[in-house]
Structure 1
Amino acid sequence: MITLWQAALIGLVVVATHLDSQLLGECKLREPVVTGFLVGLILGDVTQGLIIGAQMQLMWMGATAIGPTAGLDIGTGGTIGVAVALTTGSGVESAIMFGVPVSVVMQFVNTLLMALFSGAMAMADKEVDKLNFRGLAMIHWGCTILLVALYWILTFSLMYFGSGIIDTIVNGLPEWVSNGLNGVAALLPALGFALLMKIIMNGSLWPYFILGFVPAAFVGFDMNMVGMAAVAVAIALIIFQIKSGQGQAVQPAVATSVTDIASDDEWED
């Protein structure tokens, strides 16, 4: 059972994830591995909070908003997901079961909130025209207080008043659902990496990805022939890229006629 002050502090963690990149700069407070540590600190199990947060980080590390595509509210989803997993004594499967839907729903809430703030922008423009910086500051802090209050109240209400419902849902899950969620938890990190690589990877970076992946994959194990072959292929690709780059070096132009030579002399004069 979660206590009153624990629910209040978890609400503050969610608020901090939304102040990140707005008032606090780009602190990465919204990342699940950070919120997992903070929630673990609040609930008294830092180790498990970090483990579950890191597992959710692998899942969401490739989730990003590109252009008009709405992203996921990974700050709220990751925080509540870890909190549910720790309070119910379950694993990452419960964190995913609650964290993913919450992240989707709260992204819609954030979109509605930004639409509401667009009205405040018209008011801010009028204050700028009048050079009323005091009024501009009041509009800014008013929007911030509304954001803080909304996310804190929603998170606090869910964690404190809904903890009994959450326990009932988690404990009442049939075995086949738990097994399915475990399978999803194992696959989603691969999906997260695939999304990230889709965004940042191109052909020239593959050898370096292989060189970084192979040592990480064989930590604590003896490297076998597959790993050695992968490293050899990566080194061969890097050498090929270097050789290809040298072969494509631009050669200086050579004058092919008397007219060209004369024109060059004219420019030198």
Structure 2
Amino acid sequence: MQWWQILLLTLYSFYQICDELTIVSSAGSPVFAGFVAGLVMGDVKTGLLIGGSLQLVVLGVGTFGGASRIDATSGAVLATAFSVAQNIDPEIAISTIAVPVAGLLVYTDILGRFTTTFFAHRVDAAIERFDYKGIERNYLLGALPWGLSRALPVFLALAFGGGLVETLVAALEEPNFAWIAAGLTLAARMLPGLGFAILLHYLPVKRNLHYLAAGFGLTAMLTVLYGNISALGGAVASIVPAVNGLIPEEAALSFTNNFKGLSMIGISIIGILLAVLHYQNARRTVVAAPVSNVESGEIEDDEF
């Protein structure tokens, strides 16, 4: 791993938590972290695979008040970096690096939280003195503990953790420990499903069960539909000797790839339409109903 890659990933780790707390541009999300780490390491595909998987893991995990949660963003950065640098299977990197790191960095998150109280007290003192420059200065300095709570562990892991990761990879490649690698791969594949389960647990599913059923049905139907179209396209392309000068195998692959994204595109369009309809219905209900009858939007006794 090159020094400039370590520097860029450290700087991004510092920025991402500040963005999450202020701008909220999604630059602090795991999938964005995977993209950035993959871009820096030269393998965007691996970065998106790891980042997207961790995004699904934390899909239903939220914070309330001052609570801390697992740092899946830093986990995505480290898992992507080591996966590309050490040639580790992305699914094994998720279970052996990303998830443990995400859990351990809860402690640095807590450290960053209570360290910022030092600057908060300085802001209070500046307010009493009507020192506006002091208020601004200490407010900005409060970002240092937050940024360092992510940047410092990432830097130390990238700079000095390569030997540990190499040892881990060598151990997993031993024939006697192949079952461990298989188990870790299975665990990584199950984690996104766990994220969906947590999300469904907290969403008002019973009240909107028809939307869940409609989405499931549409997904199943469109997947089958476009799967058959893709198979038909591959068969047609294999019969034709050449398409635009390609050999039959390349022609089939080119023809088939045109249909791979259609299923999710169709689901996205249908989802947008349903969301708009739901919003319009809710808006009409709010306008027509008395104030006392308007729903507060809180989830009560509606767990899955």
TM-score, normalized by length of structure 2? 0.67
1:39 to 37, 40, 52: 37
Matched residues in 1 for 2:146 and 2:221: separation?
46
Q: How far did residue 145 of structure 1 move?
A: 3.0
Q: How far did residue 169 of structure 1 move?
A: 1.0
What residue is the counterpart of 2:59 in the other structure? 61
What residue is the counterpart of 1:153 in the other structure? 152
Matched residues in 1 for 2:205 and 2:124: separation?
43
Secondary structure at the aligned position of 1:20 is classed as helix
Contact 1:85 1:95 (C-alpha < 8 Å) held by counterparts: no
Matched residues in 2 for 1:147 and 1:69: separation?
15
Matched residues in 2 for 1:171 and 1:143: separation?
42
Quick check: which has more Rg, 1 or 2? 1
Q: Does 1:183 align with 2:186?
A: yes
One-letter code aligned to 2:58: W
Spell out the pairing of 1:175-254 with structure 2 (5 A cutoff).
175-222=178-225
Cα–Cα, structure 1 residues 19 and 69, in superposed 2: closer, same or farther, change >3 Å? closer
Contact 1:81 1:94 (C-alpha < 8 Å) held by counterparts: yes
Q: How far did residue 149 of structure 1 move?
A: 4.1
Matched residues in 2 for 1:117 and 1:67: separation?
16
Contact 1:10 1:79 (C-alpha < 8 Å) held by counterparts: yes
**Greater relative contact order (CA < 8 Å, ≥ 6 in sequence):** 1
Cα–Cα, structure 1 residues 179 and 210, in superposed 2: closer, same or farther, change >3 Å? same
Q: How far did residue 22 of structure 1 move?
A: 2.6
One-letter code aligned to 2:205: N
1:78 to 76, 79, 88: 76
> What are the superposed Cα offsets for residues 159-198 of structure 1, whole Å, 9 maximum, x if unpaired?
1221122122122122111111111112111110011111
Cα–Cα, structure 1 residues 194 and 150, in superposed 2: closer, same or farther, change >3 Å? closer
Contact 1:128 1:136 (C-alpha < 8 Å) held by counterparts: yes
Matched residues in 1 for 2:15 and 2:120: separation?
23
Matched residues in 2 for 1:28 and 1:63: separation?
16
Q: Percent identity at matched positions?
A: 24
Spell out the pairing of 1:48-127 with structure 2 (5 A cutoff).
48-67=46-65, 69-89=67-87, 90-127=89-126
Cα–Cα, structure 1 residues 70 and 149, in superposed 2: closer, same or farther, change >3 Å? closer
Q: How far did residue 69 of structure 1 move?
A: 4.7
Unaligned runs of 5+ in 1: 224-241, 243-249, 251-269
Matched residues in 2 for 1:50 and 1:17: separation?
17
Query: How many residue pairs align between the two structures?
Result: 223
What residue is the counterpart of 1:134 in the other structure? 133
Contact 1:93 1:182 (C-alpha < 8 Å) held by counterparts: yes
Matched residues in 2 for 1:130 and 1:60: separation?
43
Q: CA RMSD in A?
A: 2.2
